[in-house]
Amino acid sequence: MKEIVLDTETTGISVKEGHRIVEIGCIELDNLIPTEHRFHCYLNPERKVSEKALKIHGYTDEFLSKQKKFDEIGEEFLNFIKDKRLIIHNAEFDLAHLNNELSLFGKKKIKNEVIDTLVLAREKFPGSPVSLDALCKKYRIDNSKRTQHTALIDCDLLAKVYINLIDQKEPTLNFQNQEQEINQNNNVNYYKKIIKPTEEELLKHKDYLNNNLKKNFFN
């Protein structure tokens, strides 16, 4: 199954306050494996970025003023996601902004199936922090490149978090069938398997010694 991990960055939180999207990032998964198909663009929001948002993603008004507007990339974006399942962290936020942009573009709202990893994380870890950074820490995913929020980096991290959340992470080595014991201190003790010779093998060995070795080495 093909899925799309999606993330956006915006000028601020609320669509009702006129905030717009400044970046869209998408990574395609094919049976949970990232493909080479990606969609990424910066957008001119045609308004100023709030101070809070600027601290989060670092995209200045000057930089964004030189980018394309949503109506210039809208069709390409819709063709990329098509009817694929969308994987989004805090989907309510991203979908509100995407649907707002689409309405301004004269398009219908997104009807794709959506998996919200924020909801999955809250169900799996009730009462625990479930931000993307917190989940990376929980699953020991390296997020050192995430010095600021950027859509593609966040998508890459979210793809790894998503795979862990649905318990489809790459299998770890299991030595239980190789006579391994793990004690309470997490120390691993290995035991060599003892193979005992059969009676027939013992007789053959004895016969070999009698016939092939000198009975008296010093003679």
CA 28 to chain centre: 12
Q: Does the annotation count 57 as an active-site position? A: no
Q: What's the CA gap between 118 and 158, in Å, rounded?
A: 10
Exposed/middle/buried for residue 115 (C-beta within 10 Å: 0-12, 13-18, 19+) = middle
Average pLDDT, integer, range 135-141:
95
Handedness of CA 140, 141, 144, 150 (dihedral sign): negative
For 3-59, how does the pLDDT look when each residue is reduced to its tens digit (9 = 90+)?
999 999 999 999 999 999 999 999 999 999 999 999 999 999 999 999 999 999 999
Same-domain pairing of 84 and 63: yes
pLDDT, tens digit, 9 for 90 and up, residues 157-211: 999 999 999 986 543 333 344 334 444 444 444 334 445 567 776 677 667 666 6
- Report d(CA 70, CA 22) in Å as an integer: 9
CA distance 71 to 20: 13
**Active-site entry in 19, 89, 97, 149:** 149
CA dihedral sign, ordered 164, 169, 173, 174: positive
The domain total for the chain is 2
**Does some domain include residue 217?**
no
Give me the residue label for tokens 């003892």.
194
* H and E: helices and strands count for the chain: 8, 7
Domain-embedded: residue 218: no
Is the pLDDT assigned to residue 72 strictly greater than 50?
yes
Q: Model's pTM, two decimal places?
A: 0.75
Q: Which amino acid is at 214?
A: K
- Which of 64, 88, 63, 76 lies closest to 151, judged by CA? 88
Domain match, 91 and 187 both:
no
- Domain of 151 in residue numbering reads as 2-165
Residues 33 and 12 in one domain: yes
Domain assignment of residue 219, yes or no: no
Nearest-angstrom CA–CA distance, 22 and 42 = 6
pLDDT digits (tens, 9 = 90+) for 84-130: 999 999 999 999 999 999 999 999 999 999 999 999 999 999 999 99
Note whether residue 132 is domain-resident: yes
Domain check: are 113 and 188 in the same one? no
